[in-house]
Amino acid sequence: MTHFSRTLRAIRGVIATSAFAGLVLGTSGAAQAAPAAEPRAAGERMATTGCGKAPEVTPGVTSEQRIESGGLARSYTVHLPENYNPGHRYPVVLSYHGHKRTSQWQEELSGFSAYDTIAVYPLGLTGTDGESAWQGAPYSADADDVQFTGDLLDRLQQQFCVDERRIYAAGKSNGGGFVGVLACRMPERIAAFAPVAGAFYPQSGPCEPSRPTSIIAFHGTQDATIPYEGNPAKGLPALPDWLEGWAERDGCRPEPKTSTPQPQVQVQVQVQRWTGCDRASSLVHYRVEGAKHVWPSTTPNNDSSTPTVIDATPVIWDFFKSHALKH
């Protein structure tokens, strides 16, 4: 064998050895590399990691916060109880404002900051009519507010000592309609829902919740904005039809039991409670006779100077307290 042949064989050997080593290393590297993480679904439950951390906001004071969601800058306000203890797990109440309103307006209207909860007031994006709105309305922005809600809950659970079994959502008008969207899409993460004068537009899409869902709904019979009997031109359902749909989804008995908690009052409040619902879920409706497009309150609020005969917020809070997700 010539010197050239021996040299050529040696070179070929080195090349072959290097190629094999590269193949082995490449395979090994691929085996060791973690697969790309799938984005977390908004409705997927997450363990709280914020317990024991000093809060980044002052307890007892409402603070404006910002977060990025879906490539968009979003904002919200948060109010911790004045005696907030980072070693104690707290419920969360998300309270969504109506069309054209703000986080500050919704805090004043719903008043959840007065309760022993982490009260959060998200802000909707500017919609097609130049006003703030939530997903599911014909005038809302092209944004995923369900994902925003999931991202917001992730942030809250990383910052504060959140009881992930006791997360709740309430809202007024378009915000109430969006709470209906959340009931359809996030029942694994949110334990109970409270739409008030809710606008349940067909643009919300199909409703196929993964489990029975607990809902308490308020609506005035003289609501001219979102009529109690519906608005076919806008695709808004009559409240009895909307409630019937939820009774069917929750597996409740079709006919509710009706009571009047204040029979001595001339303007009645009718309470409808469905029974026999699956997995201990609850469906309750407060039909406020004569009330307009308002968050019911026995004192004037920034919705109306005319009081109603019932305060919605404490009733909602009691309903929320009676519901928690199972582990």
**Whole-number pLDDT of residue 32:** 43
Backbone angles phi, psi at 216, to 5 degrees: -125, 125
pLDDT band, residue 19 (cuts 50/70/90): very low
Mean pLDDT along residues 32-59: 79
**Whole-number pLDDT of residue 42:** 80
C-beta separation of 89 from 50 below 8 A: no
Q: Would the pLDDT of 17 be above 60?
A: no
C-beta separation of 173 from 198 below 8 A: yes
Q: Which range has the worst mean pLDDT, 17-21, 58-62, 74-78, 128-132?
A: 17-21
**Whole-number pLDDT of residue 264:** 56
Report the relative pairing of strands 132-133 and 125-126 from DSSP bridges: antiparallel
Q: Would the pLDDT of 5 be above 60?
A: no
Q: How far is it, in rounded angstroms, from Cα 14 to Cα 112?
A: 73
**Whole-number pLDDT of residue 267:** 56
pLDDT band, residue 262 (cuts 50/70/90): low
Q: Would the pLDDT of 318 be above 60?
A: yes
Reported in sequence order, the residue ranges of the chain that DSSP labels E, i.e. its strands, are 63-69, 72-79, 90-96, 118-122, 125-126, 132-133, 162-172, 192-196, 214-220, 257-259, 269-274, 283-288
Q: Token pair of 2, please?
A: 């010539």
Q: How far is it, in rounded angstroms, from Cα 316 to Cα 22?
A: 64
**Whole-number pLDDT of residue 141:** 97
C-beta separation of 267 from 261 below 8 A: no
Which residue is it, tokens 């409740």? Answer: 252
* 309 three-class SS: coil
Quote the mean pLDDT of the chain: 89
* 33 three-class SS: coil
The torsion defined by the Cα of 75, 79, 85 and 87, in degrees rounded to 10, comes to -30
Mean pLDDT along residues 202-213: 96
Structural element, H or E, at residue 313: helix 312-321
Q: How far is it, in rounded angstroms, from Cα 54 to Cα 73?
A: 25
Q: Would the pLDDT of 37 be above 60?
A: no
Q: Token pair of 265, please?
A: 């009052």
Q: Would the pLDDT of 323 be above 60?
A: yes
**Whole-number pLDDT of residue 41:** 83
Q: Which CATH number fits domain 63-321: 3.90.105.10, 3.40.35.10, 3.40.50.80, 3.40.50.1820?
A: 3.40.50.1820
**Is pTM, for the whole model, over 0.85?**
yes
Q: Token pair of 202, please?
A: 């067909």
pLDDT band, residue 206 (cuts 50/70/90): very high
What is residue 235's DSSP assignment? T
Mean pLDDT along residues 75-82: 98
Q: Token pair of 76, please?
A: 């919200």
